[in-house]
């Protein structure tokens, strides 16, 4: 049996070839938010704007996207956070990550989201209350004002916790771990097993300390939401520490399909049960299904997008700004379409098209051409102004380009 060190395995994410599929996946997951929000006026659930024309099958689209989109996004966020912790000093990591999330959060919250709150109150709800006291402040306290920016609050907390734990994470990352025949399988079962049962513990915590975990602190930070997505971020950190585990995680196997079916069956059975047992079974089953879906997404992107692509490189830079812009555009467009007699599917297509093209135009025509706008609405300088690796100095570290994307090592003999 041959033993290998953990530091040797780490070279899979610290070499010379980019992990292109992580770039592609992150941008696509962000852009799927446009599909999700464009569908909301026409599904059967409640939302800010609801059309009388509805399509029940959009409920399945929304539910499916909710199942894997943001969980997979937070796995990637954890992966990149751990990668950057290795390549940056603690202070540089903290300042870069906070700038990346807090500047766009504050700017969009105070501009586009305030405008959105006014538009919804005035043209959707026909609310004549004083805007500041009757609309804006209640929306802020209830967490409605943060709207689609909620995930930035989660990331800010996760990055702060990562900063605090950075010395320990670096030390753990240097541990030498023996490699056994079934070690990767056991590690995957252990990590995913803990992640699957975590929602039960989180739900118990929320119930024990209710109501404050459900409230929004400073209008942005909701403890239950932060806790709910924390396991995904932590698994991303582990996957960065153990590249061999990442390779095994990013596969569609017979067992992963079987476990997904177990999750579906568990959800159906939980509906027939009541009380604490039924709720716990539903949480575990949903988590199991979500993790198998995330594995499938990782596998598909690794299989089909792990190569250089100008399109995905552009989308990787553009998707953040596009996401920040699109929500207000969706609401305005859907409201404009309310009195027009069109099928719900046609309206959905119009809203999605307008939101995508207009958000893309704002990024391409304004944000990527302006240093100030790029910092305000992308948290980083425009691609054309990013410093090359050599100019960034030692804080960039080997194996990362100017924006901190990981690179893969050449195959070991």
pLDDT digits (tens, 9 = 90+) for 58-114: 999 999 999 999 999 999 999 999 999 999 999 999 999 999 999 999 999 999 999
Q: What is the SS3 string spanning 375-404? A: HHHHCCCCHHHCCCHHHHHHHCCCCECCCC
| Lowest-confidence pick of 250-254, 272-276, 361-365 | 272-276
Enter the tokens of residue 88.
């940056």
pLDDT of res. 371 = 95
- Average pLDDT of the chain, as a whole number: 88
pLDDT of res. 212 = 87
Average pLDDT over residues 32-50: 97
pLDDT of res. 401 = 39
Q: What is the SS3 string spanning 204-257? A: HHHHHCCCHHHCCECCCECHHHHHHHHHHHHHHHHHHHCHHHHHHHCCCCHHHH
pLDDT of res. 174 = 78
d(CA 24, CA 216): 32
Per the CB < 8 A criterion, the answer to whether 139 and 61 are in contact is no
Note the pLDDT tens digit of each residue in 257-266: 999 999 999 9
The domain limits of the chain are 24-55+307-383, 70-249
Asked whether the predicted pLDDT for residue 39 surpasses 90, the reply is yes
pLDDT of res. 185 = 81
Q: Which residues contact 325 (CB under 8 A, 6 or more apart)?
A: 112, 358, 359, 362, 363, 377
Kindly indicate the confidence band of residue 1, based on its pLDDT and cuts at 50, 70 and 90: very low
Beta-strand ranges (E) seen in 267-361 are none
pLDDT of res. 178 = 64
Average pLDDT over residues 347-364: 98
Per the CB < 8 A criterion, the answer to whether 13 and 293 are in contact is no
Q: Is 158 left (phi over 0), alpha (psi -120 to 50) or beta?
A: alpha
Note the pLDDT tens digit of each residue in 189-237: 999 999 999 999 999 999 998 888 999 998 999 999 999 999 999 999 9
Asked whether the predicted pLDDT for residue 392 surpasses 80, the reply is no
Q: What percent of the chain has pLDDT over 90?
A: 78
Note the pLDDT tens digit of each residue in 158-200: 999 999 999 999 998 777 666 666 677 888 899 999 999 999 9
Asked whether the predicted pLDDT for residue 244 surpasses 90, the reply is no
Note the pLDDT tens digit of each residue in 292-314: 999 999 999 999 999 999 999 99
pLDDT of res. 18 = 65
Please state the pTM of the whole predicted model: 0.89
Phi then psi for residue 221, to 5 deg, are: -95, 110
């Amino acid at each position: 049996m041959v033993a290998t060190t953990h530091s040797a395995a780490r070279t899979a994410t610290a070499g010379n070839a980019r992990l292109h599929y992580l770039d592609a996946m992150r941008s696509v997951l962000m852009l799927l938010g446009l599909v999700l929000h464009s569908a909301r006026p026409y599904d059967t659930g409640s939302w800010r704007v609801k059309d009388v024309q509805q399509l029940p099958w959009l409920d399945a689209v929304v539910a499916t996207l909710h199942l894997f989109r943001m969980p997979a996004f937070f796995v990637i966020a954890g992966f990149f956070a751990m990668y950057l912790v290795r390549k940056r000093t603690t202070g540089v990591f903290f300042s870069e990550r906070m700038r990346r999330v807090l500047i766009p959060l504050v700017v969009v919250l105070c501009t586009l989201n305030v405008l959105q709150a006014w538009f919804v109150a005035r043209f959707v709800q026909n609310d004549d209350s004083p805007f500041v006291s009757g609309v804006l402040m209640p929306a802020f306290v209830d967490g409605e004002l943060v709207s689609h920016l909620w995930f930035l609050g989660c990331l800010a907390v996760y990055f702060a916790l990562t900063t605090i734990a950075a010395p320990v994470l670096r030390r753990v990352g240097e541990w030498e771990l023996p490699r056994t025949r079934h070690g990767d399988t056991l590690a995957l079962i252990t990590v995913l097993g803990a992640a699957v049962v975590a929602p039960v513990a989180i739900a118990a915590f929320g119930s024990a300390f209710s109501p404050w975990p459900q409230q929004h602190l400073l209008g942005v930070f909701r403890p239950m939401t932060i806790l709910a997505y924390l396991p995904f971020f932590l698994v991303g950190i582990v996957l960065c520490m153990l590249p061999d585990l990442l390779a095994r995680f990013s596969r569609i196997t017979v067992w992963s399909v079987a476990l997904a079916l177990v999750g579906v069956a568990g959800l159906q059975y939980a509906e027939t049960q009541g009380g604490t047992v039924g709720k716990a079974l539903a949480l575990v089953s949903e988590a199991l299904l979500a993790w198998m879906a995330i594995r499938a997404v990782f596998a598909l992107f690794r299989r089909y997008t792990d190569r250089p692509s100008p399109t995905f490189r552009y989308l990787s830079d553009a998707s953040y700004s596009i996401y920040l812009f699109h929500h207000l555009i969706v609401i305005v467009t859907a409201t404009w379409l309310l009195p027009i007699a069109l099928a719900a599917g046609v309206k959905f297509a119009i809203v999605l098209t307008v939101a995508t093209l207009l958000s893309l135009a704002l990024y391409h025509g304004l944000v990527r051409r302006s240093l100030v706008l790029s910092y305000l609405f992308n948290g980083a300088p425009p691609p054309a102004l990013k410093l090359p690796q050599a100019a960034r100095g030692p804080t960039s570290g080997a194996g990362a380009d100017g924006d901190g994307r990981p690179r893969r090592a050449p195959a070991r003999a």
